[in-house]
Amino acid sequence: MASTELATRPPESGDPRPTGGRLAIPRNAWRALTSMRTALILLFLLALAAMPGALLPQRSLNQQLVDQYFTDHPSIAPLLSRLGFFDVFAAPWFAAIYLLLMISLVGCVLPRTIEHAKTMRAAPVATPRNLGRLPHHGSATLDVGPEEAAERVRHRLRGWRKVETATGSGRTISAEKGYLREFGNLLFHLSLIGLLVGFGAGKLYGYGGQVIVLADGGQFCNTGILGYDSFQAGLRVDGTNLQPFCVRVNDFEASYLPDGQPESYHASIGYQTTDDLNAGRVDQWRPYPLEVNSPLRLDGSRVYLINHGYAPRFTVTFPDGQKRTGEIQWQPVDATTYLSQGATKFEPPGVTDEEKRRTSQLAITGLLAPTSSGGQVVTSVFPALRDPEVAVDVLRGDLGLDDGRGQSIFEVDQSKIDSGQLKQVARANLVPGQSITLDDGTIVTFDDVRQWVALQISHDPGQDTVLVFAVLMLIGLGLSLSIRRRRFWARLTPTADGTRTVVEIGGLARTDRAGYGEEFDRLRADLLDAPHTGAEVDGSGADGPNTAAKDG
Amino acid sequence: MLTEFALYSDRLFMAAVGVYVLAMVLHGAEYAVQRSAKGVLVGAGGPAVETDAPPPDAPPRDGSGPGRAERYGRMGVSLVVLGAVLQAASIVLRGLAAQRWPLGNMYEFTSAICLAAVVAWLVVLRRSPASRPMGLFVLLPVVILLFLGGTVLYAPAAPVMPALQSYWLVVHVTTVSIASGLLMVPGVASLLFLLRRSGKLEGFAERLPSADALDRLAYRITIIAFPLYTFAIMAGAIWAEAAWGRFWGWDPKETVAFVAWVIYAAYLHARATAGWRSGPAAWVNVAGFAAVIFNLFFINMVVSGLHSYAGLG
């Protein structure tokens, strides 16, 4: 366990007790599992096992990169996939490592907690016979009687746990300090378990989802999974008991530096809490300025602004005069210029013949430049909506909307084009207000462009627990790494006439960290009135040579 | 005005690198002089004045005060101090020029990490002047990182994207940079410890502090840096909760930070395990620093993730 060498991890060299009977194997296995060496090996394995999670694309982070990896490495990718390398942190072998580590930790820390509780109550260790053999020691004859000498030692050792024992004509004082070190060590490890429990609770009962909302009054209500564009449910979440609240996006503003680097994003939103909804206050919206790094926190759930983009609006006027307006988000394909692509799809109105309805669907697909370069080939030169232009193909035919298969809202089904079921009937560059007329008299007009924002909704019931235990871990770590456990003994023997006292002192650091030497030197100076001479100092031994590097 | 600040910041950065290089040359000269003088002067030395207890192979001195090696060494240290001051000024001016906390891209982190390493090294030197011969090896990675920072990673002073506009940037990136810089010194000390213990390059390694001193130095700085690194990761998690909607998501940067943390945890355990205490523990410490550096460069520059705002391309 971190930074301590108290030998409560059982030594590997075996046990003096006879290991017979049927319990020998489980007992030895338990001992091996809770030994420090095993803990070390498990730590290395944990570090090693996490690395593929950083080096290989992960499904939980980016499915597209995983697909790309399959395309680039067709031979090895299926094998890696079967072994769980694209879901490292959900893989059984990863879980096995950290579970073993946790068992090892519990098996080590619990006995130590009990032992430390006993130590806290026990008296400091009795004074060794020969203090001169300790790594730190000293002696002097003081011109005071034994009572006063003892009082002087007691006074100097305020804050130490100490016990006095009468020995013949004199007495000894044993003292110990630094119990907080082991306390910190145990606090750290026990908090680590608490942190994992909180983390696990989040994975079980938490959920998150993303939704795109048009930024001119679009609304989202957290009432069910269907409201989301994508949803990640915890293992025990079925989507039926989401915390209800509603959000309305009134406006979105982005500002950019002259070179196109975004400077700030700001969405003005209104929201209604669960209480508002229960009380029927559905007309009132509480205002909130939603920004990056400043999510809306509603008891238990949070709403984040994670992306934005553009939604072109097209109006199609069919030959019979009926109009249909389509306004759907297009997807940014260039993160710098916000050049976007998408597909806005229409069904012909008033067509009763099923076959004819299905084969005369329209799709407007292509690119949208928020600030067009103005050339023949439309490209975007700036991410803000200054001078929008679209370069679109109009396709007519069977979009495959009735096939029962889900399809992307950002593109048309390429197989329908390949099979000739979907044909290009026009191609044009349009600025707002412009239109094109198709061969059958249908008019497609590019009206204008709206903005959309992508919201992330997160719900994690475990995160407060995680934070509390993380803070405790940090406190424990600080205590266990900064405090030294050390012992101090004094033996007071009155001289024959009883007016003077021979004081012998000795010290021993119980932990790895060198540096008791300096503190001991001060103790000796205070108690023995001796200057810092090296004559009686032997600052070596278990504490490590206290030579070049002074301790702080 | 702001562009002038940016310009002066860049010049101070270059000056600092130049001064560090010069300090390395002086430390190298200290080394060379000591080695060539060794045959003649061994045994002629007086006591090493400024050390508590000189290691058995304390630098030889000639009878008349500090020798040439000593002089070169001291000049080297003075230059390191000067370099650190110049570099600190460069970072401050960078912040004034960009009108934000000067830790917004890889160039700036690299500079901060190196400054933290240099300052940590100067503190070590103050407490134990006998470690001075290590200076050459501490400056080597610093100069390499600064060179990379000033060339490949350089980005002009500019505001940062909205995701980075948070006071958590100050807390998280500052602590992670300081912790990484601090960890550089134990990384170097552990490497030198291994070099010294291996017995190879004898003439080369014997000017270094004793294996024991190197090992202790590595441990002492690690136990300061490790809690700081832990805090930095936690601060990052708190920030991630506010910025990305979750406190931990196994983003590549988070994953490698976790790996490095686990390696350092293993180091502390190794220090308390019989048979692992010195040699193997030193290897673990080196591996830990390798993970930190890998996280800084490889993950930001090669793997794409949420932390990919290196200001490159």
Give yes or no: residues A390 and A400 share one domain: yes
- End residue of a domain, out of A111, A132, A163: A111
Residue A299 distance to chain B (closest CA, Å): 15
- In this prediction, residues B140-162 reach a mean pLDDT of 90
Residue B52 has pLDDT above 60, yes or no: no
Q: Please check whether residues B113 and B171 belong to one and the same domain.
A: no
Q: Are residues A231 and A350 in the same domain?
A: no
Helices (H) and strands (E) in chain A, counts: 12, 21
Is B59 a domain residue?
no
B269 assigned to some structural domain: yes
Cβ distance of A550 and B52 shorter than 8 Å: yes
pLDDT reported for residue A60: 87
Among A49-63, A89-103, A445-459, B36-50, the least confident range: B36-50
The band of A12, judged by pLDDT with boundaries at 50, 70 and 90, is very low
Residue B88 pLDDT greater than 50, yes or no: yes
Token pair, residue A358, equals 């299905």
Indicate whether A100 and A27 sit together in one domain.
Answer: yes
pLDDT value, residue A281:
86
Q: Kindly state whether residue A184 falls inside one of the protein's structural domains.
A: no
The string of DSSP codes covering A292-334 is: TTB-EEETTEEEEEEEEEEEEEEEEE-TTS-EEEEE-PPEES-
How much is the pLDDT for A64? 87
Partners of B275 on chain A (C-beta within 8 Å) are 37
Residue A405 — very low, low, confident or very high, per pLDDT cuts 50/70/90? confident
CA distance A516 to A527: 16
State the nearest Cα–Cα gap between B273 and chain A, in angstroms: 7
- Predicted local confidence at residue A458, as pLDDT: 94
Do A314 and A440 have their domain in common? yes
The verdict on A245 and A359 lying in the same domain is no
Whole-number pLDDT of residue A543 = 38
Asked whether residue A263 is domain-assigned, the answer is yes
Question: Between chains, do A481 and B223 touch, taking CB under 8 Å as contact?
Answer: yes
Domain shared by A155 and A91, yes or no: no
Question: Does the beta carbon of B273 lie under 8 angstroms from any beta carbon of chain A?
Answer: yes
**A271 lies in a domain?**
yes
A159 and A218 part of one domain: no
Using CA atoms, how far apart are residues B134 and A217, in angstroms rounded to an integer?
A: 65
Tell me whether residue B51 is in a domain.
no
Higher-scoring residue by pLDDT: B131, A516: B131
Query: Angle B135-150/B68-98 helices, nearest 10 degrees?
Result: 30
The string of pLDDT tens digits covering residues A206-228 is 999 999 999 989 999 998 888 89
> pLDDT tens digit string along A472-498?
999 999 999 988 888 999 999 888 887
| Same-domain pairing of B244 and B308 | yes
Q: Return the pLDDT at A413.
A: 87
Both A338 and A354 in a single domain? yes
Average pLDDT rounded to a whole number, residues A261-271: 92
Q: Say yes or no: A331 and A409 in one domain.
A: yes
Q: Which residue of A has its CA nearest to B164?
A: A293
Phi, psi (5° rounding) for residue B264?
A: -65, -35
Min Cα distance B115 → chain A (Å) is 22
Give the single-character DSSP code of A371: B
A161 in a domain, yes or no?
yes
Domain membership of residue A141 (yes or no) is yes
Domain that holds residue B131: 1-39+68-159
Q: Measure the CA–CA gap between A427 and A292, rounded to whole angstroms.
A: 38
- B230 versus A14: which is more confidently predicted? B230
Task: Give the predicted TM-score (pTM) of the model.
Answer: 0.86
- Mean confidence (pLDDT) of chain A: 86
Q: Residue B39 pLDDT > 70, yes or no?
A: no
Q: Which residue of B has its CA nearest to A36?
A: B273
Question: ipTM value of the model?
Answer: 0.87
A355 & A299 share domain: no
Tell me how many domains chain B contains.
2
Of the ranges A80-94, A146-160, B191-205, which one carries the lowest mean pLDDT score? B191-205
Top pLDDT among B230 and B42 is at B230
Residues of A in contact with B120 (CB under 8 A): none
Asked whether the beta carbons of residue B242 and residue A294 sit closer than 8 angstroms, the reply is yes
Nearest to B141 by CA among B292, B307, B33, B313: B292
User: How many domains are contained in chain A?
Assistant: 4
Containing A459, the helix (H) or strand (E) segment is strand A443-459
- Tell me the angle at which helices A36-55 and B252-270 cross, rounded to the nearest 10 degrees: 160
CATH number at residue A520: 3.30.160.110
Q: Which residue in A1, A35, A37, A40 has the most chain B C-beta atoms within 10 A of its own C-beta, making it the best mutation to test that interface?
A: A40
Same domain, B32 and B139: yes
| Per-residue model confidence (pLDDT) at position A324 | 93
User: Chain B: residue nearest A54 by CA?
Assistant: B252
Average pLDDT, chain B: 85
pLDDT at B46: 39
Domain containing A264 equals 200-307+457-473
B151 and B165 housed in the same domain: no
Q: Per-residue pLDDT for A157 more than 50?
A: yes
Which candidate in A43, A59, A191, A210 is best for mutational testing of the B interface (most B CBs within 10 A)? A43
Q: Do B230 and A458 touch (CB under 8 A)?
A: no
Residue A292 has its nearest CB partner, among B162, B226, B299, at B162
Provide the number of CB pairs (under 8 Å) joining chain A to chain B.
Answer: 177
Provide the shortest C-alpha distance from residue A52 to chain B (in Å). Answer: 9
Q: Where a domain ends, among B141, B159, B177?
A: B159
Which pLDDT does position A533 carry in this prediction? 39
Residue A2 in any domain: the answer is: no
Domain match, B150 and B282 both: no
pLDDT at B60: 46
**Of A63, A90, A111, the domain-final residue:** A111
Q: Is residue B297 part of a domain?
A: yes
Q: Is A445 found in the same domain as A320?
A: yes
Cα gap A97→A40, rounded to integer Å:
12
Query: B178 and B154, same structural domain?
Result: no
Q: What is the arithmetic mean of pLDDT over B285-311?
A: 81
Same domain, A174 and A280: no
Average pLDDT over residues B97-110: 91
Is B297 found in the same domain as B182?
Answer: yes
Residue B52 covered by a domain: no
